[in-house]
Structures are given as C-alpha cells and as structure tokens.
Structure 1
Amino acid sequence: MKQVIQSLQRNEAEKRIPVLKMEIDYELATLHDAMTASDSEAMTRCKVKLEELRQEMVRLEA
C-alpha cells in the first residue's frame, strides 16, 4: 500500500514540476516589470512568491 501511495505522489510531482517552472517564469517576468517601474511593493510581493515557489520546487525534486 505504501508503494502505491509513493507512486501516486511521484506522478503528481512529475506533473507539478513543469507547471511550477511556468509559474516561476511568470513571477520573474512580473518582477522584471516591477523593477522597471520601480514599484517596491510589487517587487517585494514577487520575491516572496518566488521564494515560496523555490521551496516547493526543492521539495518536489527531493
């Protein structure tokens, strides 16, 4: 039973990683726009979101 659960979790992680990469790319583009506009609030929000996405990516790749 444990093997079945681990297999399902692995499959979910494999599906989530490409979506996560797209989300990171989007946040990086948003951060670039905020930096160009000198919008410090948007930059902070983007950095926080990027850190959350980075942590999720590390968990999924482990």
Structure 2
Amino acid sequence: MPKQPKAPSKPKPNPVGRPKLHDQAKSSIVPVRFNAEDRKRVELAAKTSKQTVSEWIRSTLNSALEV
C-alpha cells in the first residue's frame, strides 16, 4: 500500500503581545507626583533638551547620583 502524502501543515501564528525581555532589560516603575507648576517646568526642560520627560528625569537623576 503506497504512503499518502502529508497535507501541508499550517504555519504557527505569531504570539500576541510584547516579546519577552531578557533579565537585564527589565526595569521597574517608580511613581512620582508633580504639582502642575513642577510638571510644566519638567516638560519645558525636557523639550529644551530635546528629550522625552522620562529621558530627562532619568538623565537628571543619573547626573545627581554621580556626585
């Protein structure tokens, strides 16, 4: 009896969602509250230095922690 050819298998669908990160890529979130005036000052400083607010806060903290 001749073997029947296998039906072509369907490709596996790509998983949904963000790809898994390696351990060193994981970070934590630190919630911080700003009043309206301070928030505007931070946003202006970030815009002036052509950074996002998060980038500006991280770089400013890193500079302060180097002392």
Q: Which has the larger radius of gyration?
A: 2
Fold shared, TM-score > 0.5 on shorter chain: no
- Larger fraction in helix: 1
The normalised TM-score by structure 1 is: 0.28
Tell me: higher relative CO, structure 1 or 2? Use CA pairs within 8 A at least 6 residues apart: 1
